[in-house]
Amino acid sequence: MKIVEVEAMVLRQPEVRLIGDGTQDCCIVKVKTDEGIVGIGESQTSPFVIKAIIDAPDSHVRSRGLARIILGEDPFNVERIWQKMYSETSVYGRRGVVIHAMSAIDMALYDIMGKALGIPVYKLLGGKFRDKVKAYASTLMPEAEEEAVKEVIRWVEKGFKAVKVGWGPLGHSVEQDYRFMKACRKAVGDDVDLMVDIGYGGDRRKAFELARLLEELNIYFLEEPLSPDDLDGFAELSSRVDIRIATGEKETTYFGFRDLIERGKVDVIQPDISRVGGFTEAKKIASLASAKGALCIPHCWSTDILVASTLHFIVSQPEIPYLEFCVWPTPLRRFVAKDPIECVDGYVRVPEGPGLGIELNEKIVEQFRVA
Ligand SMILES: [Mg+2]
């Protein structure tokens, strides 16, 4: 089997707001083969940039567009293809958006392999430890305390055993962050895991102060209270407080996570399959986390292509406790797959069909495609 075409599509809702919601647009990639099997993947990042990296004409050796690098390759040589993409883009790549784009292609290659063999992707990843995964409802923090309380109660009432609130007004005032989370804890009681995501912190003093206050609320993890590059700050924070410190959604490759774990000493790493380098790299990152005693809980806030991928990955791993389940109701979040993946009583089942086990809703693609 040979790869004959790579198509990168940008989907975008008519109005995109500057809020912490990455489901307002997306880049979906189709990798097509000479045997008629088409794999799908996605990258949750700046979609027009991903399309440019895939479609770009060759500049010179080590500075090529991704599609040209993989044409003619056998999709089953997934490790070889990964290394080829990495080295042939190494002048302008190696981290960031090029790895994001490679993630979408890697995901599509696994989808092709699964479809060709008639087996779900998790079987290609070593098989499954379980059929369903406990999910935490992942939502944005409302602007007012009473709205925050209503939001967490809403998802607990729908059966979730854990809820994360993030971004929005968080990160500006330690006093307000603490007050909102205290109200949320009081509302849901002690049996629900609560997580909080600052989104992009910076001030070490604020981070230390907030982490200490959150200790008494039994928060499951505090996410991104510092800049993603403040590894020394993360190391100090993790060693000083009892609450788990989480980060990693903006990180790529094994190398990036090696630094986060070894130098940043974070408790929870959050690789996003659509950013870190796909399944091929995520497997290595999870093994590293396991060897170093860090918890791996993937970041997942996009279409059902990423949700399915994350599920296949999680069930193939022995000790990932949670799926991040984005409950934000945009059309791309909810309807990109023909049969949307549902959360039932706080758990989500891994798709059992061939490949990723989801079918693209071409009507939605047609409706929202802008490039
Ligand atoms: Mg986050």
Over residues 207-247, the pLDDT tens digits come to 999 999 999 999 999 999 999 999 999 999 999 999 999 99
Domain ranges, residue 252: 124-361
d(CA 274, ligand 1 centre) in Å: 14
Sign of the four-CA dihedral 121, 127, 129, 130: positive
Provide the pLDDT for residue 59. Answer: 95
d(CA 138, ligand 1 centre) in Å: 9
d(CA 197, ligand 1 centre) in Å: 5
Is the confidence at residue 116, as pLDDT, over 90? yes
128 plus 110 within the same structural domain:
no
Provide the pLDDT for residue 125. Answer: 98
Over the stretch 266-281, which tens digit does the pLDDT of each residue have? 999 999 999 999 999 9
Mean pLDDT taken over the chain: 97
Provide the pLDDT for residue 46. Answer: 97
Q: What is the pLDDT averaged over residues 180-190?
A: 98
**For residue 330, what is the domain's CATH number?**
3.20.20.120
Angle at 244 between CA 243 and CA 249, to 5 degrees: 140
128 plus 114 within the same structural domain:
no
Question: In the listed set 72, 98, 118, which residue is the last one of a domain according to the structure?
Answer: 118
CB 265 within 8 A of CB 236: no
Three-class DSSP category at 337: strand
38 plus 136 within the same structural domain:
no
Per-residue burial over 220-251, b if 16 or more Cβ lie within 10 Å, else e, is bbbbbbbbbebbebbbbbbeebebbbbbbbbb
d(CA 249, ligand 1 centre) in Å: 6
In a domain, 87, yes or no: yes
Provide the pLDDT for residue 64. Answer: 98
d(CA 322, ligand 1 centre) in Å: 14
Over the stretch 190-205, which tens digit does the pLDDT of each residue have? 999 999 999 988 899 9
Active site residues: 299
| Count of other CB atoms within 10 angstroms of residue 72 | 10
Q: What is the pLDDT averaged over residues 280-303?
A: 97
Strands 221-223 and 245-247: parallel
Is the confidence at residue 89, as pLDDT, over 90? yes
217 plus 316 within the same structural domain:
yes
Provide the pLDDT for residue 236. Answer: 97
Please state, in angstroms and rounded to a whole number, the distance separating the CA atoms of residues 264 and 267: 9
Q: Tell me the pLDDT band of 305, cut-offs 50, 70 and 90.
A: very high
d(CA 252, ligand 1 centre) in Å: 14
Provide the pLDDT for residue 201. Answer: 87
d(CA 84, ligand 1 centre) in Å: 30
Percent of the chain exceeding pLDDT 70 equals: 100
Q: How many structural domains compose the chain? A: 2
Q: What is the pLDDT averaged over residues 316-327?
A: 97
Three-class DSSP category at 135: strand
Q: What is the pLDDT averaged over residues 2-12?
A: 98
Provide the pLDDT for residue 350. Answer: 98
113 plus 205 within the same structural domain:
no
Q: What is the pLDDT averaged over residues 33-46?
A: 98
**For residue 75, what is the domain's CATH number?**
3.30.390.10
CB 244 within 8 A of CB 293: no
d(CA 27, ligand 1 centre) in Å: 19
| Ion ligand 1: residues, Cβ under 5 Å | 197, 249
Please state, in angstroms and rounded to a whole number, the distance separating the CA atoms of residues 367 and 185: 41
Calculate the CA dihedral of residues 63, 66, 69, 75 and round it to 10 degrees: 150
Q: What is the pLDDT averaged over residues 165-173?
A: 95
